Structure 1
Amino acid sequence: MKTYFTYLHRNKLFTLVNVAGLGISLMFVLLIANMVVRQLTVGSDIKDIEHIYVLSNEEYSASNYLVGERLANRYPEMADWCAVNAEAYKSGSYAVIDNRKTSLEIYCVKDNFLRFFGYSLLSGNPEQALVDAHSIVLTESAARKLFGEEPAEGKMLRLSADKKEMYTVTGVIKDFENSVIPDEVEAIVPFDYVDFVNWGSSMHNPDMNNMGGTAILVRFPQGVNPDQKAADMLSFLKTFSWGYQHDLFREAFWMPLKDVCFSEIMSPQLRQYNPVKVWIFLVAGILILLMAIFNYVSMCVAQVSYRAKEMATRRLLGSSARSIFWRLLGESALFTTGAFLLALLLAKAVEPTACDLLQTRLDIWDDLNAITLLIYLIGIVLLSLLAGVVPAVLLSHYHPLDVVKGTFRRKTKAVYLRALYVVQSGLTVAMLTCTLYLSAQIYRILREPLGYTYGHVLDYPAMTVGSSEKIRLFRDEARKKPFVRNVCLTAGTPVNRGNNNTTQLYDSNGIPQNVSFQVFRTDSAFLDIFHIQVFDDRKLPRKWGNMYFSESTFDSLQLDYARTAELRNEYGRQYAVGGRYADIKFGSILLPQSPTMISVEHPDKVRPWNVLVETIEGDQAAYKRELDALFSEVVEGIPFESKWYADEMTEVYKDLLHMRTTIVAFTCAALLISLLGLTAMSIYFISQRKRDMAIRKVFGSSAGMERARLLRFSLLSLLAGMLLAVPLAWFGVQQIDGILHYSPMAMWGVFGVAFLLVALISLGSVCLISWGAVRENPVNHIKTE
């Protein structure tokens, strides 16, 4: 291998480009592979996961606690069942210990949760840990956060939603990691706590108002088909579940827990991933790796004529074609192993950034085991074969006399390079097209008209405070600030979707129709802050029941607004029509939209979820600091997070923005690899053509004509690459449209921009590199022949 190291040392550009290209691309592949493996093995910590199923319908893998209880009483084959509620999670919950308030992410579960999932405790008895309604199990990190290094078991604390009772720590569990329960969950409490979070999901509420707040999980014995009685279960649900009685749900089935992770049916309580995004990331990583391999192969092919003399000498000294072949594959394996080790170091270095971009936890080192190492070894072998077989075949199968006569150089200098140039440029154009298309679509989404507008609006959480007096005190004190324009107390905002009220209203023919409303109970400042114009305000008294309705309400019911004084539901409840307004879009515009209604009430009658503070133009950061300090003082140190409404709007699309950032990173890496490869290939390609250029210049060709020849060769290769890029780009755009569910746009504009950028980079590099070569004295190259 000494001659190989000498070769690498003498060809520093070749070494740098390929080590960097392979190292960077393998870094992406390692990170993505770690992500995919983790996602495919979600729930591996759960006992008998293959026998656990989740109650589902066509919309949600969720239901109500009492539904699970009734099904268990009816179907004895349900060997064991559990309920998981996430409504206290990410809701601003906190624990109080010695008047010290600390945020705490809580899940509410049935008392058999630990036994059902097979979770063990670091301390405490898993059989008894959740039996008492006022017990709490902390994760290891949460116990350390709350009590330091002191033993947590037996300690007392108070939880924010329950103002009366103290809770006893009955156990400590290892932090959730790569489980169906999100990693951020810090505490597990009995299901009784739901009473204080959302009465609609309570197991003590016979009305079962919330039919999507709780996951119902069942373990069926081996050999039992869970859906054997699906038809009977559907009929049974229609006898008591209002969601089925009103035909909101038409299906009922049991989904395997191991399938929930990648299911298109939403499961608000359990961890889920988007399978299309996973495949996009995986394909992008593989494409970058292929481009790096093409770089390596193409540069090896470009270097073939230089190494051919060495191999021809070995053949003439007695080496066989087979020994030359395996020698070159060995060199490829050595080179690939070095690049792989570099990739491991790079992957570990960028792991925190990758975790943020991919929105998942990664751990390259901790996930190393015997199987992983074996897979890595197999990958290195396959990669070495893929990267090294073409140069090895070329150099080992030509006769040494071809090299001496120059036939070998003339046969290799164009065909292989052009083919690889075409493939690489096609892949680059396709990836850049997908990146530009996604960016353009996200730009359109973020600027989609919402039916309302807003200025500088700061949103404060009101539900975590638990005191209407303190909220009103903050409102009154905030109004005194000279930079505050308006303050609103509201139960819901357009970005958080308000509260859903699905009911049956009578249409123009007296037939009840299902209508899903998003409801906002608020004061009059709401209309001003969001610039919502009410048409034909009938000036009804401001109280619940006198409603403003969006225009689509009347369209969906085929009602004439001018003749409609009230709307009546199937229970006889009447809603007085106080006016109408243009439809507004709530939450993400990528989700289905429905009619909305606004109840404008007296500010002191509103039970707010949010306090909205609108500020004037100026130093917004300073305004926020002052208002935050005021809010913290009023609520006496309760943990909170205030956000600008514009940031909340952006956060709705954070998954898309992270996906865009990740794909941009992939594309930049691809462009860098492509640029390095094309530049290096151009250098070697031009050096191979110097003799031909010299002969033509002797017969009258000029430097400009020679440069045009080189540019024409590159341009024709780019055009051929474009034919490859079109189907790849089209496929990528289709996948992006499948994720976004947003009105598609024609891809040809961004495809043209992508092609022009790649062409500019490629032709620019050829032009710059050839600048000196076409001006050289032809005698310098002819006399060496």
Structure 2
Amino acid sequence: MFKNYVKTAFRNLLRNKIYSGINILGLSMGLACGMLIILYVKDEVSYDRFHDNLNNIYRISTVQYNVEGKREGAMGYSGYLQGPRFAADVPGINAFTRVEQDMRDVKNGAHIKAWQIHLADSSFFSIFSFPLLSGNPKTALLAPDAVVITEDVAKEQFGTKDALGKVLMMKQGDDQFKPYTVTGVAKRIPQNSSLKFKILVPIRASAQDEGNDENWFNFFLNTFVVLDPGADRTQVETNMQQVYTAQSAAVFERQQQQYGPQGKTVYQLQPMNELHLSKTYRADNGLTDASDPIFSYILSGIAAFILLIACINFVNLTIARSVKRAKEIGIRKVVGGGRMQLIMQFMGESFILSIAAFILALILVQLSLPVFNELSNKALAISYLFDFKLVGGYLLLFFMTGFLAGFYPSLVLSGFNPVKVLYNRFTLSGKNYLQKGLVVLQFTLASFLIIGTITIYCQFRYLTTRQLGYDDKDLVILRHSRIPYLRADAFRADLMRNGAVADVAFKNVGDWMTSAKVNGDLTVNFSYETVDEKYLPLLKIPVVKGRNFSKAFPSDSTHAVLVNEAFVKTAGWKDPIGQEVNFWYNKDEKYTVVGVVKDYHYVDLKQRITEQLFTMKNSNQYGATFVKIKPGKETAALAHIAVIYKKYFPLSPYEYTFMNDENLKRYESEAKWKQIILFSAILTIFISCIGLFGLSVLSAEKRTKEIGIRKVLGASVAAVVAILSTDFLKLVIISFVLSMPIAWIVSNKWLESYPYRITVSWWIFATAAFLVVGVALMTVSFYAVKAAVADPVKSLKGE
């Protein structure tokens, strides 16, 4: 009996190749999307799970409160003291390690390359499960000149993984290169690790640093602690707070006397298994790949949409074909076939289709993984499919798909009345509301994604084309060791000797934040920039009041500052020129405002323009050089810059970036989401349309004789096409109308996270409507035209 079911199922599928192909293709695409998203989610939740002692590893984090007791922020940073002090004085903490990030120049022969390195305590390998290919993990970081490298770094620097005992020349700051002995070679770091080191050296924490109670208030590195297996986390946090309060009390009192009332710091423990997906305490400052669980939710939702649409196609096409199989069902019932046997027959066909779709889906996953990895910033591989839990998930996905796609059609088909069927009196009852409802549902989802795609594209275009308030074209940025202003003048003079260089300006490197008092006691927090007098003119940033810095005013380098319009607004100044800015924490450091800079987007457009202050203070050194290149002379300019750079920084690698490229990199996540949603929308509309194509084919076949009669009576091809297409287009239009309010609400909600954003305009919906209706019209018209131009004699000769 079972053999007969299988044989009949295969015959039916082979006899209806278009129907079978559409179903297999649609299901395989839905399953492939589901598999890729399962891979993504599995990778997201697997971060850091490979550490043997994961459940007992925590990162020390803090919550900051202001003077009024209001929560101001939270961070996962700490300083030199927290690790050793808490480990010594808090019961339940048995080990700690601090992890700091830095940049170092590494010399390999004559070649110099800047590497991101990590510094850590000697207990690092006792806490984390990073196996060494060679070296002793307990002693690898004991010597001050020791270095542990990964196997990839070993191959690059020494040409072999067997690098134990070899010497790595590394520079710290402006010092000469110093030899570091390789005391360990680590295996390649797992891609699902929040801590990805390449070069690891012992942390620089002197006895003086660890004995200075003022370092309780420095936060710049990550500290991890290991709790005893039976320790109460809440009690440990309480004890940590008590130790901190007691040991920092004297320093805290001095700060209050010197600077006024201070806020409060509360220490907490963040489980390491929450690092990757934490929205409060981000995996940064030496940790990598910080993510947001919303990404998994969105991608899972998209995969569910696509899989649902594929199942809808299956149900629709199977029900639509039911008329053609009515006599087969009637004969089976007359000769004694039971309803359960018929259900098994049709469910069998469903699972055969699902098996074929599943195999094709595996092939599609393999082919699309490189693109998916690029979009999602992952390094997923097809080998991950063979994880036991993952295979179980895929099998569950397969059985659910086969069951959901085949259960309802099998109930409908097995319920046909054999008498009506065999006397040609059978028609599907009602007006096929379910079939039409399913078409409406899938095109509603497709329309929603298309509107979302257009919205994301427009917002991305807005972010990348909006005027920033300064000129970033043909502007090269060099980051280097800090240089004083007198040496910077000589560096500029040498750069300007080439006619391809238009101008040169200097600025501090990185983002500096500080605060000062204005109007007596009002504290203003601001971005603190050290620039020269050429910086604002070079970037074409207007000074709207007062004047720019000038060497004609010697006091500009000691007592003058510029502020932006946002600073003026916060300070409440009507006439800002001549106002005083008091850096009260530095004795006698007061400045006079000589100019107001027009607000410009010095941070990305995902953040509002906030307060900014500029100084030309002599004691602040420059760390970045901005070189304006004349248009069309990039090659000559860059060659000249390289020569001059090596003259002034012979021990530093020559690296440069174009500022407009840096600005674009700020929106990499938006660019990737634009691509992900675009691919999802295309895939959704494609699957929906192949289902619509299948329905139009079956509709045309069912109405073959009607079309023949209409043509004999004089109907034109256009009229016949319109008749066959109208019913489907009505459903598509209804779908789009239903999707509009949902898409409008979701799009506006998403845009709320951007302070500078587009408006969801009518033309976005008009464009989406044109695309959806146009694609649907082309889909249903293709076979409708073929049926309309067919010879009516062939259609009617069977009558």
Q: TM-score, normalised by structure 2?
A: 0.86
**How has the CA–CA distance of structure 1 residues 599 and 407 changed in structure 2, closer, same or farther, with 3 Å as cutoff?**
farther
Q: CA deviation at 1:475?
A: 4.5
**In structure 2, what is the Cα distance between the partners aligned to 1:85 and 1:637?**
23
Q: Hey, what does 1:75 align to over in structure 2?
A: 90
Q: Is the 8 A contact 1:547 1:600 kept in 2?
A: yes
Q: CA deviation at 1:774?
A: 3.9
State the AA in 1 paired with 2:471: T
Between 13-22 and 677-686, report the one with greater CA deviation. 13-22
**In structure 2, what is the Cα distance between the partners aligned to 1:698 and 1:451?**
70
**How has the CA–CA distance of structure 1 residues 622 and 717 changed in structure 2, closer, same or farther, with 3 Å as cutoff?**
farther
Q: Hey, what does 1:495 align to over in structure 2?
A: none
State the AA in 1 paired with 2:541: I
**In structure 2, what is the Cα distance between the partners aligned to 1:401 and 1:697?**
33
Q: CA deviation at 1:654?
A: 0.8
Select which of 511, 515, 528 maps to 2:521. 511
Q: CA deviation at 1:335?
A: 1.8
**How has the CA–CA distance of structure 1 residues 673 and 378 changed in structure 2, closer, same or farther, with 3 Å as cutoff?**
same
Q: CA deviation at 1:308?
A: 3.4
Q: Is the 8 A contact 1:25 1:292 kept in 2?
A: yes
Select which of 751, 764, 789 maps to 1:737. 751
Select which of 170, 180, 194 maps to 1:167. 180
Select which of 120, 143, 146 maps to 1:135. 146
Q: Is the 8 A contact 1:83 1:217 kept in 2?
A: yes
Select which of 59, 62, 70 maps to 1:56. 62
Write out per-residue CA displacement over residues 635-660 of structure 1, whole angstroms, 9 at most, x where no aligned residue. Answer: 55854542211110010111111111
Q: Is the 8 A contact 1:59 1:249 kept in 2?
A: no
**In structure 2, what is the Cα distance between the partners aligned to 1:756 and 1:377?**
39
Q: CA deviation at 1:40?
A: 0.5
Q: Is the 8 A contact 2:89 2:243 kept in 1?
A: no
2:307 is equivalent to residue 307 of structure 1: no
Q: CA deviation at 1:728?
A: 4.5
**In structure 1, what is the Cα distance between the partners aligned to 2:316 and 2:621?**
68
Tell me the secondary structure at the aligned position of residue 567 of structure 1: strand
Select which of 527, 531, 537 maps to 1:522. 531
2:130 is equivalent to residue 125 of structure 1: no
**In structure 2, what is the Cα distance between the partners aligned to 1:207 and 1:234?**
12
Q: Hey, what does 2:735 align to over in structure 1?
A: 721
Q: Hey, what does 2:315 align to over in structure 1?
A: 297
**How has the CA–CA distance of structure 1 residues 586 and 238 changed in structure 2, closer, same or farther, with 3 Å as cutoff?**
farther
Select which of 105, 112, 124 maps to 2:116. 105
Q: Hey, what does 1:447 align to over in structure 2?
A: 465
Q: CA deviation at 1:127?
A: 1.1
**How has the CA–CA distance of structure 1 residues 551 and 471 changed in structure 2, closer, same or farther, with 3 Å as cutoff?**
closer
**How has the CA–CA distance of structure 1 residues 42 and 739 changed in structure 2, closer, same or farther, with 3 Å as cutoff?**
farther
CA RMSD of aligned residues (A): 3.5
Write out per-residue CA displacement over residues 1-38 of structure 1, whole angstroms, 9 at most, x where no aligned residue. Answer: 34433443443333333333332332222222111111
Q: CA deviation at 1:108?
A: 1.6
2:345 is equivalent to residue 335 of structure 1: no
2:274 is equivalent to residue 259 of structure 1: yes
Write out per-residue CA displacement over residues 22-63 of structure 1, whole angstroms, 9 at most, x where no aligned residue. Answer: 323322222221111111111101233223322132332212
Between 287-296 and 380-389, report the one with greater CA deviation. 287-296
Select which of 153, 162, 176 maps to 2:164. 153
Between 478-487 and 168-177, report the one with greater CA deviation. 478-487
2:392 is equivalent to residue 385 of structure 1: no
Q: Is the 8 A contact 2:276 2:291 kept in 1?
A: yes
Q: CA deviation at 1:210?
A: 8.4
**How has the CA–CA distance of structure 1 residues 24 and 634 changed in structure 2, closer, same or farther, with 3 Å as cutoff?**
farther
State the AA in 2 paired with 1:434: G
Q: CA deviation at 1:624?
A: 4.6
Aligned residues: 763
Q: CA deviation at 1:664?
A: 1.1
Q: Hey, what does 1:579 align to over in structure 2?
A: 595
Q: Hey, what does 2:67 align to over in structure 1?
A: none
Q: Hey, what does 1:460 align to over in structure 2?
A: 478
Q: Hey, what does 1:531 align to over in structure 2?
A: 540
**In structure 1, what is the Cα distance between the partners aligned to 2:27 and 2:376?**
21
Write out per-residue CA displacement over residues 729-785 of structure 1, whole angstroms, 9 at most, x where no aligned residue. Answer: 256436633665655733654234323311121123323432343455666545546
Tell me the secondary structure at the aligned position of residue 428 of structure 1: helix
Give runs of aligned pairs for residues 430-445 of structure 1, distance below 5 A.
430-445=448-463
Q: Is the 8 A contact 1:96 1:158 kept in 2?
A: yes
Q: Hey, what does 1:217 align to over in structure 2?
A: 224
Q: Hey, what does 1:558 align to over in structure 2?
A: 572
Q: Is the 8 A contact 1:461 1:609 kept in 2?
A: yes
> Which structure 2 residue ranges, 5 or more long, are not aligned?
1-5, 64-72
Give runs of aligned pairs for residues 664-683 of structure 1, distance below 5 A.
664-683=678-697
Tell me the secondary structure at the aligned position of residue 30 of structure 1: helix
**In structure 2, what is the Cα distance between the partners aligned to 1:366 and 1:427?**
30
**In structure 1, what is the Cα distance between the partners aligned to 2:262 and 2:649?**
44
**In structure 1, what is the Cα distance between the partners aligned to 2:725 and 2:454?**
26
Q: Hey, what does 1:686 align to over in structure 2?
A: 700
Between 680-689 and 721-730, report the one with greater CA deviation. 721-730
Tell me the secondary structure at the aligned position of residue 122 of structure 1: strand
**In structure 1, what is the Cα distance between the partners aligned to 2:442 and 2:150?**
49
The percentage of counterpart residues that share the same residue type is: 22
**In structure 2, what is the Cα distance between the partners aligned to 1:102 and 1:71?**
38
State the AA in 1 paired with 2:21: L
**How has the CA–CA distance of structure 1 residues 301 and 404 changed in structure 2, closer, same or farther, with 3 Å as cutoff?**
same
Q: Is the 8 A contact 1:587 1:652 kept in 2?
A: no
Q: Hey, what does 1:361 align to over in structure 2?
A: 379
Q: Is the 8 A contact 2:530 2:617 kept in 1?
A: yes
Between 659-668 and 209-218, report the one with greater CA deviation. 209-218
State the AA in 2 paired with 1:173: A
Tell me the secondary structure at the aligned position of residue 658 of structure 1: helix
Q: Hey, what does 1:589 align to over in structure 2?
A: 605
Q: CA deviation at 1:153?
A: 1.3
Q: Is the 8 A contact 1:490 1:611 kept in 2?
A: yes
Between 304-313 and 337-346, report the one with greater CA deviation. 304-313
Q: CA deviation at 1:150?
A: 5.3
> Which structure 1 residue ranges, 5 or more long, are not aligned?
196-200, 493-497
**In structure 2, what is the Cα distance between the partners aligned to 1:41 and 1:190?**
29
**How has the CA–CA distance of structure 1 residues 460 and 150 changed in structure 2, closer, same or farther, with 3 Å as cutoff?**
same
Between 338-347 and 67-76, report the one with greater CA deviation. 67-76
Q: Is the 8 A contact 1:413 1:688 kept in 2?
A: no
**In structure 1, what is the Cα distance between the partners aligned to 2:249 and 2:364?**
57
**How has the CA–CA distance of structure 1 residues 202 and 99 changed in structure 2, closer, same or farther, with 3 Å as cutoff?**
farther
Tell me the secondary structure at the aligned position of residue 65 of structure 1: coil
Write out per-residue CA displacement over residues 473-523 of structure 1, whole angstroms, 9 at most, x where no aligned residue. Answer: 76444423322211223213xxxxx43232241x32x2242x322222222
Q: TM-score, normalised by structure 1?
A: 0.88
Between 354-363 and 671-680, report the one with greater CA deviation. 671-680
State the AA in 2 paired with 1:501: M
Q: Is the 8 A contact 2:448 2:739 kept in 1?
A: yes
Q: Hey, what does 1:649 align to over in structure 2?
A: 663
Q: Is the 8 A contact 1:475 1:487 kept in 2?
A: yes
Q: Is the 8 A contact 1:129 1:137 kept in 2?
A: yes
Tell me the secondary structure at the aligned position of residue 167 of structure 1: strand
2:766 is equivalent to residue 758 of structure 1: no
Write out per-residue CA displacement over residues 628-687 of structure 1, whole angstroms, 9 at most, x where no aligned residue. Answer: 576568755854542211110010111111111121121122222222222232222222
Tell me the secondary structure at the aligned position of residue 157 of structure 1: strand
